[in-house]
Structure 1
Amino acid sequence: MPRFLTHLLGAALAVGLFLRPAFAETDFLALSKDMLIGTDAVRSAAAEVIVARDNPDMIPSLVLLMRIGGSHVVTQRALKALTGQDLPDWRAAMRYQEANPQIEPHPSYYDLKLWYWGGIDRDFHALFETPIDRASMRIRFEEITWGGALFDDIPPLDTPKMIPADVADYMLDSDLVFGVEINGDVRAYPLRIMGWHEMFNEVIGGVPVALAYCTLCGAGILFETDVEGYEAPFVFGSSGLLYRSNKLMFDRQTKSLWNQFTGEPVSGPLAQSGIRLKIRPTTITTWADWRAAHPHTKVLSLDTGHIRNYDSGVVYAEYFASPDLMFPALTDETRLRQKDYVYGIRVAGGAKAWPLTAFEAEPVINDHVGLSEVVLIGDAQTRTVRAYARDGQVFSGDAINLVGPGGAWSLTEEAILGPKGERLPRMPGHVSYWFAWDGYLGAESALYGVVE
C-alpha cells in the first residue's frame, strides 16, 4: 500500500471514519511528499485530501512543490481550488504568495522546506533554528527560496589584493567600477570581477566595510561593518538563498541571515537585535573616468585566489541584457519597468528614488528626500550618480562644470567644495533595479517625477 494511503487510513480509523479524511490526524508532510514523488493516482488522492480540508495554510506547500517538482497538473489544480486563480507555474505562484502575506503556512511546511534544502546542501540548516519560529523572523520564511548556489559557494573577497592603476593593464576604459574613497584611501573594484564574488570584506581608510553586490537586483551597497556593542566587525558571505530576487547574506560570527538591500539581520540570533548597518557612499563609473579623477587609485587585482572568467562583459551577460527577472518578484510597473535603473537614498524621515534616465535631461537635479535637501549629479550612460546635502543652495551645470552660489564648485568623493571654502558633504545612496527598490521600500519611498 502506498505510504500516503497508509497514513490516511490510519488517520481515518483513529476517529472511526473511513470515507472522510480525519484532518487533525493526517500527516500533511507525508501528503506533500506523496504529491511530489507518488504515482498519478497517489498524487490525485493526496490533492483531494488537501483541497477537501479547504484551508489556505497548505498553499505555501503547494507553491514549494511547484518549484521542486515542476508545474504538475495535479498541483496546479489544487492551487486553483484553494486560491481561486490559475497559477500556471512556480513564478506565478510565488507572486501570488508575495501578494497574500495573510496566509500562514501549515506546520508541515517548515519540515518540507528544510527536507528539500537538506537534499541540496545540509549546511543550509545552520541558518535556521528548528523548529522554525516564524514570529522571530523579519521576512516571511515561505518567500525565501534557493538561488541555485550552495551555502557560501559564491566566494567573497576578504582583504583582496589591490594594485596601482598604472599596472592594471587588464582594465578597459569602458569597464565599470565601484569607486570608493574613505579618509583618502581610494579604491576601485571592477564589476566584471565583483559579479563573480558579490561580496568583499575590507578595511578602507581605517574603516571596516563590506560591499554587498546583488547582481540580480543591480545593487552594490557599501556597508560599515563595525557595530557598536559588538567586539569585532561583521564578516559576510553569500548564503545561496534569495528573498524577492535579492541575495540573503550571512555573517560568519552568528550565521544570521541579512537582507542585502537594507543591511538588517532578518533571521537567526540577530534577527531581533535592531541592527541596521550604516551605508557609505560608493560610485559606479567607468575606469577611465575614475582613473582620471583619481590617478593614484588602487584597483582590484585579477589575482583573487579563484579561477573565473573575469573578461569584460562575461559575468551575468544574458541577465543584464534581458528585461526579465531570473527569480519572481512583484513589481509596480505602472511607473517604471522592473529592470529600469534608479538611484535611491534613504535618510531619517524618508526615502526617494530617481530614474537614471532623468539625468539625461538634467545632469544636476536639486531636490529633497524626507526632510533633507539634496543635489544629485548624474550620468545615465555610465550609471554614475553622486548626491550631496545642499543646505538650501541651488546648483546647475554638470559633474565637470558644477555651478553654484558664488561661481564654480568642485566635486570630490566626500563633498562638493565652493569658491569661498564652502563644503557640502556627500550623502550615501546607490543604484539598483526598480523592482528591488520598489519591492523593499514601496510606499515608504517617493519617486522623482511623480507628484507626492
Structure 2
Amino acid sequence: MVWDLARLLRPPSPRLLSFVTIVRFLEQQTGQQLGQNLGGWNDWVWAQPYEPHPDYAWLKGQWYSQIDPRFADFFPRGTPSVIRLDEIEWGGVAVNGIPPLEYPARLAAADADYLEDDNIVFGIAMNGEARAYPKRVLAWHEMALDRLGGVELTIVYCTLCGTVIPFESVAGGEHHRFGTSGLLYRSNKLMFDHGTNSLWNTFEGVPVVGPLVGSGARLTPHAVVTTTWGEWRARHSDTTVLSLETGHRRNYAEGAAYRAYFGTDALMFQVSRMDNRLLNKEEVVVMRFAAPDSERRLPLAITARFLAANPVFHHRFAGLNLVVVTSAAGANRVYDAGDTRFVEAAGAGEVADDAGRIWRVTEGALRLASDAGVRRERLPAQRAFWFGWYAQFPDTELVR
C-alpha cells in the first residue's frame, strides 16, 4: 500500500490531500528521503516488486473520478489487468476530452485547397480506396472512426509517441466502438471500448485492463505511410482527404497542434524505461512479427534517418526477409520480400531486383511490372518516437 500512496502525489488538485502528510508517511515507511520529488517517487515505485493492494484499481478509479466520474468505470473492484496499474497516468483530459472523429467529412483531392504539397499526411489504402489523414487535423483528435474500402477502421494517433496505427474495428466478430480514455500507459494513450469499458493498448491493439482481458481479442493492424500531401496525391489521384469541417473549433493550421511538444526532445510524462542510444523523439519505423518458434511477437525499430540513407534496405527478422522501400520524400513502406533480393530504386515508384526486373511500389504490395500477379506483400509498420516504442518494448532490436 506504500507505493499506492506514492501515486497519490499527483492528485487532481492539491486541495484534496495534504502533500506534506503523505510525504512524511512515505519517508517514514520506506526510508527514502525524496520529499515532493514526484519523479523520484515514481522511479522508486516502479523499481519495487509489483504487489498492489487488492483494492488498488478501485482506489485509482475513485481518485480519478474526482476529475471525471467516468474514470471510475474503468477500475471497478477486482478488474483484471495485464499491465502495472501504477504505470497508468492521467493524461490531463477527461474521457473523450480529446474528441475522436467519427466518420469524418472528406473531400476529393482537387477540392482540398487548404493543403500545401509539403503538409504531412498519413496515407491509408484499403481494397482500392485511398484516403489521406492530414497530421494537422488528426493531431487534434487522436482517433478517427472511419470506413475505407468497405473495412471499419479505428485509426489511433498517439501524439505523445508519434504513432499512427489503423486497426480493424471488428475483432472476434464484434464491432468495437472506441473512444479516448484520457489515460496513458508509459506515455502511450489507452483507448477504451464503449461496450465493456475495457482499456486497450494502442500499440498492440489488445485489451489490458477490464472485462476483455484474457478474451483473446486482438485488433488487426494495417499499413499506413507517413508522407507529404504532394507525394500521396501524385501516387493516388483519386484519393479523398479529410475536410476541415469536423464539427469542432480548432486551429487546423500546419504545425499548430502540439507545436511546443513536437519542437523539443523533452517528455510530457515520465516513463519507467528509457534508452539513450537515440534522442527521445527520434523517429523510428517500427513493427512486430510473430517469432517462428513461439507465440511471442518480436519488436523491431529502424531509424528513419538510416532508411533515408538506405532507400532499399533488406533485413532478416523473425524468419522474414524484410525490405523497406523509402521514397525521395522519406515515406517508408515495409514488404515481405520472400526469396527476392531488391537492390535499388528504378525511378519514381519502382524498384529493381538483383535479376534486373522492375517492380512497382504500391500500397498493398510490390508488383512485378511484367506480371502484376507476382507480388510481395506489404506488412504493417508505422513511425514512432524512440522513447515511446522502447518504453513499451525494451527488448526491441534497433537498426540505426
User: Structure 2-normalised TM-score?
Assistant: 0.90
Q: Does 1:304 align with 2:246?
A: yes
SS in structure 1 at match of 2:284: strand
Q: How far apart in 1 are the matches of 2:39 and 2:96?
A: 25
Of residues 134, 137, 141, the one that matches 1:197 is: 141
Of residues 268, 282, 287, the one that matches 1:345 is: 287
Superposition CA RMSD, Å: 2.2
Q: Does 1:411 align with 2:361?
A: yes
Q: Does 1:272 align with 2:229?
A: no
Equivalent residue, structure 2, for 1:288: 230
Question: What is the Cα deviation at residue 93 of structure 1?
Answer: 2.4
Identity of aligned residues (%): 38
Q: How far apart in 1 are the matches of 2:376 and 2:46?
A: 41
Deviates more, 1:332-341 or 1:120-129: 332-341
Question: What is the Cα deviation at residue 97 of structure 1?
Answer: 2.8
Q: Does the CA-based 8 Å contact 1:58-1:105 persist in structure 2? A: no
Q: Does the CA-based 8 Å contact 1:340-1:355 persist in structure 2? A: yes
Q: Deviations over 1:24-83 (max 9, x none)?
A: xxxxxxxxxxxxxxxxxxxxxxxxxxxxxxxxx312212322455499566455545516
Shift in CA distance, 317/341, structure 1 to aligned 2, threshold 3 Å: same
Shift in CA distance, 406/274, structure 1 to aligned 2, threshold 3 Å: same
Equivalent residue, structure 2, for 1:257: 199
Q: How far apart in 1 are the matches of 2:36 and 2:331?
A: 40
Equivalent residue, structure 2, for 1:244: 186
Q: Does 1:357 align with 2:305?
A: yes
Alignment of 1:68-147 (within 5 A): 68=12, 69=14, 72=19, 75-76=22-23, 78-80=25-27, 82=30, 84=32, 86=34, 89-100=37-48, 102-107=49-54, 109-110=56-57, 112-129=59-76, 131-133=77-79, 136-147=80-91
Alignment of 1:177-216 (within 5 A): 177-216=121-160
Equivalent residue, structure 2, for 1:424: 376
Q: How far apart in 2 are the matches of 1:58 and 1:165?
A: 57
Q: Does the CA-based 8 Å contact 1:67-1:90 persist in structure 2? A: no
Question: What is the Cα deviation at residue 111 of structure 1?
Answer: 5.0
Q: Deviations over 1:270-326 (max 9, x none)?
A: 112121211100111000110111111100001111111111110011001110111
SS in structure 1 at match of 2:71: helix
Gap runs ≥5 in structure 1:
1-56
SS in structure 2 at match of 1:280: coil
SS in structure 2 at match of 1:410: strand
Shift in CA distance, 87/322, structure 1 to aligned 2, threshold 3 Å: farther
Q: How far apart in 1 are the matches of 2:226 and 2:260?
A: 20
Q: How far apart in 1 are the matches of 2:18 and 2:320?
A: 49
Q: Does 1:446 align with 2:397?
A: yes
Gap runs ≥5 in structure 2:
292-297
SS in structure 1 at match of 2:140: helix
Question: What is the Cα deviation at residue 107 of structure 1?
Answer: 4.9
Question: What is the Cα deviation at residue 149 of structure 1?
Answer: 0.7
Of residues 331, 337, 340, the one that matches 1:390 is: 337
Deviates more, 1:88-97 or 1:335-344: 88-97
Q: Does the CA-based 8 Å contact 1:71-1:90 persist in structure 2? A: no
User: Structure 1-normalised TM-score?
Assistant: 0.80
Which one has more relative contact order, counting CA pairs under 8 Å at least 6 apart?
2
Question: What is the Cα deviation at residue 447 of structure 1?
Answer: 1.5
Equivalences, count: 385
Equivalent residue, structure 2, for 1:436: 388
Q: Does 1:327 align with 2:269?
A: yes
- Kindly name which structure, 1 or 2, has the bigger radius of gyration based on alpha carbons: 1
Shift in CA distance, 73/137, structure 1 to aligned 2, threshold 3 Å: same
Code of the residue aligned with 2:43 in structure 1: it is R
Shift in CA distance, 125/72, structure 1 to aligned 2, threshold 3 Å: closer
Q: Does 1:372 align with 2:320?
A: yes
Question: What is the Cα deviation at residue 385 of structure 1?
Answer: 1.1
Comparing both structures, which one devotes a greater share of its residues to strand? 2
Equivalent residue, structure 1, for 2:2: 58
Shift in CA distance, 66/156, structure 1 to aligned 2, threshold 3 Å: closer
Code of the residue aligned with 2:333 in structure 1: it is R
